[in-house]
Amino acid sequence: MAEIYKYHMFICTHQRDDGTDYCEEHGAQSLRDYAKQRVKDLKLKKVRVNNSGCLNRCKLGPIMVIYPEGVWYQYQDKADIDEIIDTHLVNGKIVERLLK
Based on C-alpha coordinates, what's the Rg of the chain? 13
How long a stretch of residues is the chain? 100
pTM of the model: 0.92
As its CATH architecture, domain 12-16+23-98 has: 3-Layer(aba) Sandwich (3.40)
Terminal alpha carbon distance of the chain: 33
pLDDT at 58 (0 to 100): 75
pLDDT at 93 (0 to 100): 97
Domain ranges of the chain: 12-16+23-98
Please give the average per-residue pLDDT across 2-15, as a whole number: 90
